[in-house]
Amino acid sequence: MSNLPRVLADLPVSADVTELCAGRVELVPWTGNTHGVVGIYTYGHPTVDAALLDALPAVQVISNNGVGVDHIDVAAAAARNVPVGNTPGVLNGATADLAFALLLAAGRRLVEGDRYARGPDFHRFDPSFMLGREGHGSTLGVVGMGRIGEQVAKRARGFGMTVLYCNRRRNEAAEVALGATFAPLDDLLERSDYVVLTVPLTAQTRGMIGRAELARMKPTASLINVARGAVVDVAALTDALRGRRIHAAALDVTDPEPLPRDHPILALPNVIITPHLGSATVETRRRMAEVSIDNLMLGLAGKALLHPVQPLAHG
Ligand code: 8YV
């Protein structure tokens, strides 16, 4: 056993994190001997709740390698004076790129086309097969105009899209700089050709896209989720896709994650599912590792974190 500060970690960590921790902290597996643990390092799971914090009274900091902290009881940490750090800012571009890739892939039936082109039925070009829906010139609805939503809206401008958004509060900067128009959720759902979800998972956003909301969407519209799976009612979405009540969905996140292999949504042709790849680029993951380890080391030194999470914003 080393003399380095012991940090409970969601192992395995990436090579970048291993490198940044070398000689500075000892990463301790979640299920191992947690004696003397002074920090917690997570990747979106497992849950960090009051019971865990009570069991680890020497913890001085919780550092999350990611922006979403729905798995952490931030209020319980604050009540114990334990700061929580996350990695906002550095992953906006990568996540917005993926949202846009999914948007175009859903509209233009890209994955379905790929499967078809590899399969036994593709004999010759047919002018009327696999017609999709256009991206350029369409209307985009961004649900959650925060840092990632703004980057999605910025990309939409290049495609000549009309951008609607809804958010807890008006984002005037996005209105001025990106030409986005505020709309209540129901209105946004009725008018959009693409609905992109970029909200954090909170008590307010859990299940916010359910049967009633899906029923408001145009039959030609697609739903893209790069937020958290639990924002969408997956049973309602399965029914809407099966009944062709919407054109398609593209999900980078699901609830649960992964979905059980026999989940009916997995058998549908008009859904694309990726394994939580929003921030998965070499460059972004390196920056996330740096910010999250900076947060960890600052917290262990009793200093202010680079990006402390405010409890109230994530209730
Ligand atoms: C992370 C994410 O990779 O930042 C987030 O909230 O969803 C992803 O960028 C994931 O949480 C694992 O850390």
Active site residue 257: yes
Q: Which residue has the higher pLDDT, 265 or 313?
A: 265
SS3 assignment, position 26? strand
- Asked whether 44 lines ligand 1 (CB < 6 A), one says yes
Among residues of the chain, what percentage have pLDDT more than 90?
A: 96
Based on the domain organization, do 129 and 178 belong to the same domain? Answer: yes
Based on the domain organization, do 119 and 138 belong to the same domain? Answer: yes
Of the pLDDT bands very low, low, confident and very high (cuts 50, 70, 90), residue 315 is: very low
Based on the domain organization, do 75 and 96 belong to the same domain? Answer: no
pTM for the predicted model, two decimal places: 0.97
Based on the domain organization, do 20 and 76 belong to the same domain? Answer: yes
Based on the domain organization, do 150 and 209 belong to the same domain? Answer: yes
The answer to whether position 42 is within a domain reads yes
The answer to whether position 78 is within a domain reads yes
The answer to whether position 1 is within a domain reads no
Q: What pLDDT score was predicted for residue 45?
A: 84
The answer to whether position 52 is within a domain reads yes
Q: What pLDDT score was predicted for residue 1?
A: 61
Of the pLDDT bands very low, low, confident and very high (cuts 50, 70, 90), residue 2 is: confident
Of the pLDDT bands very low, low, confident and very high (cuts 50, 70, 90), residue 312 is: low
pLDDT mean across residues, the chain: 96
> Is residue 64 pLDDT above 70, yes or no?
yes
Look at ligand 1, atom 2, and give the residue with the nearest C-alpha: 66
Based on the domain organization, do 48 and 131 belong to the same domain? Answer: no
Based on the domain organization, do 23 and 85 belong to the same domain? Answer: yes
Based on the domain organization, do 239 and 252 belong to the same domain? Answer: yes
pLDDT in tens, 175-229: 999 999 999 999 999 999 999 999 999 999 999 999 999 999 999 999 999 999 9
Going from the Cα of 118 to the center of ligand 1, the distance in angstroms, rounded, reads 32
State the residue range of the domain holding 167.
Answer: 92-273
Of the pLDDT bands very low, low, confident and very high (cuts 50, 70, 90), residue 32 is: confident
Based on the domain organization, do 169 and 258 belong to the same domain? Answer: yes
Give the CATH number for residue 50: 3.40.50.720
pLDDT in tens, 110-143: 999 999 999 999 999 999 999 999 999 999 999 9
- Asked whether 225 lines ligand 1 (CB < 6 A), one says no
Q: What pLDDT score was predicted for residue 116?
A: 96
> Is residue 314 pLDDT above 80, yes or no?
no
Total number of domains constituting the chain? 2
Based on the domain organization, do 291 and 267 belong to the same domain? Answer: no
Active-site position among 71, 133, 191, 228: 228
72-101 average pLDDT score: 98
Among residues of the chain, what percentage have pLDDT more than 70?
A: 98
Q: What pLDDT score was predicted for residue 140?
A: 98
Which of 154, 162, 159 lies closest to 188, judged by CA? Answer: 162
Active site residue 228: yes
Based on the domain organization, do 198 and 308 belong to the same domain? Answer: no
Does ipTM surpass 0.95 in this model? yes
* Atom number of ligand 1 nearest to Cα 68: 6
Look at ligand 1, atom 4, and give the residue with the nearest C-alpha: 66
Cβ pair 163, 178 in contact under 8 A: yes
Active site residue 276: yes
Based on the domain organization, do 184 and 207 belong to the same domain? Answer: yes
